[in-house]
Chains A and B, each alone.
Chain A
Amino acid sequence: EADIYQTPRYLVIGTGKKITLECSQTMGHDKMYWYQQDPGMELHLIHYSYGVNSTEKGDLSSESTVSRIRTEHFPLTLESARPSHTSQYLCASNTGNNEQFFGPGTRLTVL
């Protein structure tokens, strides 16, 4: 089982603020992912990375950006938060066998 951490777990913030959601894993996995999940809805991939200095946009368009400067760290940034960004954000990483493990998620509310 992978150890994958996300902070903060909950965030309530006002419109227009810049926020960074942190994700880190201690397993040395190359591939990492960010998903967005609205209540009762399926997960949608918004960003992924297959290694240091590689990032790609996912299937769902998102105004967020990501960076991958270190293998273990894959933060997601919103430059100017809006109420439409209210959602749960889930970070994941893959083992060499393509098993994907998830962090606990960050529940973001933008007022």
Chain B
Amino acid sequence: QKEVEQDPGPLSVPEGAIVSLNCTYSNSAFQYFMWYRQYSRKGPELLMYTYSSGNKEDGRFTAQVDKSSKYISLFIRDSQPSDSATYLCAMSAGAGGTSYGKLTFGQGTILTVHP
């Protein structure tokens, strides 16, 4: 079983829709949670970064972390065609011990927002 499981999609939504992207994980040592957006043939771009449980909002994006359920989500409000990309969740136990800040990624969800 993978340490991080991400809803594979693909997702296709109309412009203006609310999008929900989700990941579950099994390693209770994870403390840092990230969402990346990756356009085709580009490197991942850091969208949201959260430490421990709670919510974080940035414009149209909201990240939620529930450590008790080992579940994280990314919500996109008022989705736009420019949001069409692959979204990757990633997690880290931090820089201490033997983790060295290494990230474990989900497999990614392809999102298409059509006009």
Contact = CB atoms under 8 A, between A and B. Distances in A.
B100 A98 contact: no
A48 B92 contact: no
Contacts of B49: 97, 99
Main secondary structure of the interface of B (DSSP, over half): loop
B11 interface: no
A105 B100 contact: no
B16 interface: no
B32 A102 contact: no
A42 B88 contact: yes
Interface of B: 32, 34, 36, 41-46, 49, 88, 90, 92, 94-95, 100-103, 105-108
Interface of A: 6, 31, 33, 40-43, 45, 48, 50, 56, 58-59, 90, 92, 94, 97-105, 107
18 contacts: A31-B101, A42-B105, A42-B108, A43-B103, A43-B105, A48-B102, A50-B100, A58-B102, A94-B101, A98-B32, A98-B92, A100-B90, A100-B101, A100-B103, A101-B46, A102-B36, A105-B41, A105-B42
